[in-house]
Amino acid sequence: MHHLNLWKKSLGTVPDDVWDLTELQTLVLAENGLTSISPRLGRLRRLRMLDLGHNALAELPDTIGELSELSDFLYLHDNQLLVLPTSLGRLTGLRYLNLSQNRFAELPAPVFELTGLVELRASDNAISTLPEAIGQLSQLRELHLRNNHLTTLPASVGKLRSLRQLDLRGNPLTELPAELAELPALDKIDLRWVPSLKPPDWLARLVARGCLVYL
């Protein structure tokens, strides 16, 4: 068996025999009222896709860092997470990470070690600042930060040369770094529901070269 979909089965806990399916490549455990995940998760080293979304998880086991082939997606949307295990930073082949609707006050440090990320979603948290380390995610094409507590972004976003879409809706932004205007691939920036921001002059340069700017 390579794929197991246990979506919305009212499990409460993950059946022990799931952790014996060491050939699994896809595991979906979304919407099961889960409050914990066994450290035995680390046995599933062939996983490419893991969906733990829409549960009640407050933490993840350190063994998640042993999922060395996890590359297609890690879906953690709609849980109670405040932190992530340091070991997560070892998943450098991961391309898609969804952390939206959790309880993060900041993006956890291991995220910035995931240098293979193409899409990062962290909307609907309580993130108030982004560190300069965001610039390490040089493969990032989409960055979704809707409905957080951001007032600005670091200048290092100028290193995200592959970034195409940036969603900042619903943040209390007061300024944005001019480096955003120099991103060659940026084709959409969403600044709706941000009455605190006076649109900077350089936005016109983005519009002139075909970037969609939503205000």
Q: Which residues pair with 190 in a beta bridge?
A: 167, 214
Answer whether 0.85 is exceeded by the pTM. Answer: yes
- The count of structural domains within the chain is 1
pLDDT, the chain, mean: 98
Triad 43, 49, 53: Cα angle to 5°: 100
Is the model's pLDDT at 5 over the cut of 90? Answer: yes
- Give the angle 209-118-64 at the CA atoms, nearest 5°: 160
Strands 212-214 and 188-190: parallel
Supply 89's token pair: 């930073």
User: Among positive and negative, which fits the CA dihedral 57, 53, 191, 193?
Assistant: negative
Residue-wise pLDDT tens digits, 8-50: 999 999 999 999 999 999 999 999 999 999 999 999 999 999 9
Q: Of the candidates 27, 29, 30, 32, which has an alpha carbon nearest to the alpha carbon of residue 12?
A: 32
- Mean pLDDT for 54-82 is 98
Per DSSP, the residues of 17-74 read GGGG-TT-SEEE--SS------GGGGG-TT-SEEE--SS--S---GGGGG-TT--SEE
Q: What are the pLDDT digits (tens) for 118-148?
A: 999 999 999 999 999 999 999 999 999 999 9
Residue 185's pLDDT band (boundaries 50, 70, 90)? Answer: very high
Give 95's pLDDT tier (boundaries 50, 70, 90): very high
Residue 29: domain span: 3-214
Residues paired with 73 in a beta bridge: 49
Q: What is the per-residue pLDDT for 213? A: 97
Q: How confident is the model at residue 175, as a pLDDT? A: 97
The pLDDT tens digits of the residues spanning 142-180 come to 999 999 999 999 999 999 999 999 999 999 999 999 999
pLDDT band at 1 (very low <50, low <70, confident <90, very high): confident
**Nearest Cα to Cα of residue 101 among 75, 128, 123:** 123
Q: Return the CATH number at 197.
A: 3.80.10.10
- Rounded to an integer, what distance in angstroms lies between the CA atom of residue 53 and that of residue 79? 7
Q: What share of the chain is helix, strand, coil (3-state, %, to 5)?
A: 20, 15, 65
Tokens of 149: 């507590």
Among residues 140, 28, 20, the alpha carbon closest in space to that of 74 is found at 28
Contacts of 204 (CB under 8 A, 6+ apart): none
